[in-house]
Amino acid sequence: MAKTRALGRGLGALLDDSGSDIVSKSLSSPKEDAGGSVSGISISEIEANPFQPRTRFDQEKLDELSASISQLGIIQPITLRKVRQNKYQIISGERRFRASQLAGLTEVPAYIRVANDQTMLEMALVENIQRDNLDAIEVAISYQRLIDECSLTQEALGERVGKKRSTITNYLRLLKLPPQIQKAIMDRVLTMGHARAIINIDDESEQLQLFKEIVRGGLSVRAAEQASKSAKASGVTAKKELPIEYQRIQDNVKRQLDAEIGLKVNAKGKGSLSISFDNEKELKRVLSILDLWP
């Protein structure tokens, strides 16, 4: 039998400290399943991870994530370790947990870990990945869990699941997409091919714009890839041509309208200003601020 990789200090120490964990190897309820099922856990029963290396969280980004969670819910569950009766400790997902608190949630979806179940978790996740009915985001989340909780590198993960490192990387990049796009992938509105075209664009507002074009126009993957190349090229040009005073204008308009703004200006001063919105309600809100709604 191959020797199991030793976990480093931090997550490994947290998982191996069985003295403070009351959960036995014989799980007594589905809520304590260490495999792939998700449970709803009360926020009041969750405490921070003492091994969390990050001590400062960007408040603006937390507020943005909180707003997204209020609208779409939590797409990627957090991972908890049960430390005593009705008390759980965060293994991964503290940023999502904090944003959920800001959003006023009383419960969050979570995976529950059992102390010293390293091999069991790894086997369960790898087996879960092999299922044919998983969407791309579910696969990506499983890959991320194996990396975070089992201390695997992308190379080692590729060996475990029989995939090239580039394939692993492409899936993991999906988790950096805006929540609206991740949800569309989970709902199978977008294919993996469409998602890869979108993620090749660096700017989030441009990603959302292409996403809307794909959905509205029913674009094929090839058409989405061409649109992605065009958007990326125009985005680079716009960034090079946008003087600092126009950047300030763009930031000010974005702040005033609380919406994604696209400002493009060429060397002659000619350009365009675009305002992105997700639905009719959002459009009415922006137009009301501009005093343009009847």
* Better-scored residue on pLDDT, 261 or 71: 71
CB 184 within 8 A of CB 215: yes
Whole-number pLDDT of residue 190: 93
- Strand-pair partners of 272: 264
Residue 6 is classified by DSSP as P
Q: What percentage of the chain has pLDDT greater than the value 70?
A: 76
Mean model confidence pLDDT for the chain: 78
Three-class secondary structure of residue 61 per DSSP: helix
E strand or H helix that includes residue 264 = strand 261-265
Please tell me whether the overall predicted TM-score, pTM, comes out greater than 0.75 for this model. Answer: no
162 sits in the region (left: phi over 0; alpha: psi -120 to 50; else beta) called left
CB 245 within 8 A of CB 271: no
In the 3-class helix/strand/coil scheme, how is 156-178 assigned residue by residue?
HHHHHHCCCHHHHHHHHHHHHCC
Nearest to 278 by CA among 199, 215, 200: 215
Find the catalytic residue in 45, 47, 94, 213.
94
CB within 8 A of 214, min separation 6: which ones? 190, 194, 197, 198, 224, 227
Whole-number pLDDT of residue 127: 66
E strand or H helix that includes residue 273 = strand 271-275
Q: Which CATH class is domain 10-53+61-116?
A: alpha beta
Q: Which amino acid is at 8?
A: G
- Strand-pair partners of 251: none
**pLDDT tier, 2 (very low <50, low <70, confident <90, very high otherwise):** very low
CB within 8 A of 17, min separation 6: which ones? 115
Whole-number pLDDT of residue 104: 94
Residue intervals of the chain classified under CATH 3.90.1530.30 are 10-53+61-116
289/273 Cα distance (integer angstroms):
16
Whole-number pLDDT of residue 43: 95
Quick check: is 122 catalytic? no
Flag whether pLDDT at 111 surpasses 60: yes
Taking the mean position of all CA atoms in its chain, how far away is CA 128?
A: 19
12/180 Cα distance (integer angstroms):
34
Burial of 218: CB neighbours in 10 Å, binned 0-12, 13-18, 19+: exposed
Q: Report the range of poorest mean pLDDT among 137-141, 236-240, 262-266, 284-288.
A: 236-240
Q: Which two tokens stand for residue 249?
A: 């204008």
- Strand-pair partners of 265: 271
